[in-house]
Amino acid sequence: MTALRPGAPSSADPARARVLELLGLPSPESLRPTAVRVEPLGRDGSVTCSRVELDTADGNTIPCLLLSPHGRHRADVIAVHQHAGDFATGKSEPAGRAGDPTLAYGATLAAAGARVIVPDLLGFEDRRRAWTDDPAADERLDALFRVANGSSLQSKHTSDIATVTSWMTETNPTGAGPGIIGHSLGGQVALFALAVDPRLTSGVVSCGLGTLASFEAARIRHNPAWFVPGLAAAGDVGLVASAVDKPVLVASGRDDALFPLDGVQHVLDAFRPDVVTAEVFPGGHVMPPHVTAAAVRHLVPA
Domain enclosing residue 122, as ranges: 9-199+221-245+291-299
Helix (H, G, I), strand (E, B) or coil at 61: strand
pTM reported for the whole predicted model: 0.94
pLDDT along the chain (302 residues), means of 10: 35 89 97 98 92 97 96 91 98 98 97 97 97 97 97 98 97 91 98 98 98 97 97 98 98 97 97 96 97 97 85
Query: Is residue 274 a part of any domain in this protein?
Result: no
CA atoms within 13 A on the CB side of 99: 24
Q: Is residue 195 part of a domain?
A: yes
Q: What is the pLDDT of residue 9?
A: 39
- For residue 67, give the nearest of 31, 93, 86 by alpha carbon: 93
Residue 151 placed within a domain: yes
> Has residue 85 been placed in a domain?
yes
Domain count, the chain: 1
User: Comparing C-alpha atoms, which of 162, 198, 177 is closest to residue 8?
Assistant: 198
Which residues have CB under 8 Å from 112's CB, separation 6+? Answer: 74, 296, 300
The answer to whether residue 30 sits within a structural domain is yes
> Is residue 259, in this structure, part of any structural domain at all?
no
36, containing H or E segment: strand 35-44
**Residue 47 pairs with which residues in a beta bridge?**
44, 69
Confidence at residue 12, expressed as pLDDT on a 0 to 100 scale: 67
Q: What is the pLDDT of residue 126?
A: 98
23 assigned to some structural domain:
yes
Burial (CB < 10 A; 0-12, 13-18, 19+), residue 298, is middle
Q: What is the pLDDT of residue 5?
A: 31
DSSP-derived 3-state class of residue 250: strand
For residue 283, tell me if it sits in a domain. Answer: no
CATH number (domain holding residue 28): 3.40.50.1820
